[in-house]
Amino acid sequence: MSQPILELHQIEKRFGDTQVLKGISLSAAQGEFITLLGPSGCGKTTTLRIIAGLETPDAGRVVLEGRDVTDTEPNRRDVNTVFQNYALFPHMTVAANIGYSLKLKKRPKDEIAKAVDEALALVQLTGYGKRMPSELSGGQRQRVAIARAVVNRPRVLLLDEPLGALDLQLRRQMQIELKALQKRLGITFIYITHDQEEALNMSDRIAVMREGRFEQIGTPAEVYDRPRTSYVARFVGTANVLTGTVKAVDGDAMTLACADGCARVQTLGYPFKDGQTVNIAVRSEQVEFEKSAEGCGLPATVKEKSFAGGMLRIALALADGSELIASRHGIDIGVAAGDKVDVTWSAFHAVPVDVEGAHE
């Protein structure tokens, strides 16, 4: 395997009495799109600023292309950053904004002009070079900010919630364009967002952050289908987290006693034993209303049905008083508030979480 282009080794950072980063490590390959996903205050932006050289870690190392750059000035790192607020010079044309870093490097004018034209073409703004930022839409200004960041082909591009200021429709369009641009350029992207849909749609891998730590690092499918913790299960998508006691283990699956019923779940190779207490996660879209072939089910009462956009949401009360959510894409089903149902799911669609000793 080739050497990672970027490595973070046990990075720690404290501001006053608050420890913002608690020994995080991450490795990024050439051309990989990695998203740092988490709520406000979890340490995403601090991580990005440390990679960029705008902050210095209290402990740990930043390695770029095999070279320790922990104490290297920002302008001596082959890294560029795109911010949410665009940060364009309002008094400069689009072309001047994009070519500014090349001008500082004293590149020839014809070389700068060619590089600017290529960058404009990459972000689908050919012919916009003479316009001023004030003459552009929000989406166009963000494209200019991206073009300015990639014009000198950095080894790593850092993106700090670059689509956060855009409306939903434009944001989704830009997600597609940005991912396609990243693939064409082959540049490693480190992208931060608190939007789970954005992370799932764009990333090669997602690092879910919580209170200064990486809770889980994996592909979108791994993070969504096999969350390691109840926090990840609930933060990425809509998951029900239940607690049960192991009744029987048979191969790759096991049966739990849970909420006056029973549930089937994958073991994922963990050595579970009869009588052990286990937390499990099951996605709302995988919840069914009939006993499974294995004879398992949880007795429940329908509390309410509601539509959220194109999604039907069914809230159910289990026998132990806990709530469970089922969902369907735009399809009403034949249950109503007050109905008694048996809730079930395939063992393949339920996973154990918060397993002691489970690590990245």
In the Cβ-directed half-sphere of 273, how many Cα atoms lie within 13 Å?
1
CA 309 to chain centre: 22
Task: Return per-residue pLDDT of the chain as tens, 360 residues.
Answer: 468 999 999 999 999 999 999 999 999 999 999 999 999 999 999 999 999 999 999 999 999 999 999 999 998 899 998 887 778 899 999 999 999 989 988 899 999 999 999 999 988 899 999 999 999 988 888 889 889 988 888 999 999 988 877 787 888 888 888 898 899 889 999 999 999 989 999 999 999 999 999 999 999 999 999 999 999 999 998 899 999 999 999 989 999 999 899 999 999 999 999 999 999 999 999 999 887 666 789 999 999 988 877 788 999 999 998 999 999 887 777 888 999 999 999 999 999 999 986 654
Predicted model pTM: 0.90
Q: Which residue has the tokens 């937390």?
A: 279
**Contact residues for 197 (Cβ-Cβ < 8 A; gap 6+):** none
Pair 351, 265: CB distance under 8 Å: yes
CA 184 to chain centre: 21
**Contact residues for 236 (Cβ-Cβ < 8 A; gap 6+):** 37, 196, 199, 200, 206, 208, 223, 224, 227
- pLDDT of 359 reads 52
- pLDDT of 85 reads 75
- pLDDT of 177 reads 85
Q: Which residue has the tokens 């950095």?
A: 154
Alpha carbons 143 and 126: distance in angstroms, whole number? 11
- pLDDT of 83 reads 81
- pLDDT of 280 reads 96
What burial class does residue 290 get, using C-beta atoms within 10 Å of its C-beta: 0-12 exposed, 13-18 middle, 19+ buried? Answer: exposed
What burial class does residue 209 get, using C-beta atoms within 10 Å of its C-beta: 0-12 exposed, 13-18 middle, 19+ buried? Answer: buried
Pair 178, 35: CB distance under 8 Å: no
Alpha carbons 83 and 149: distance in angstroms, whole number? 10
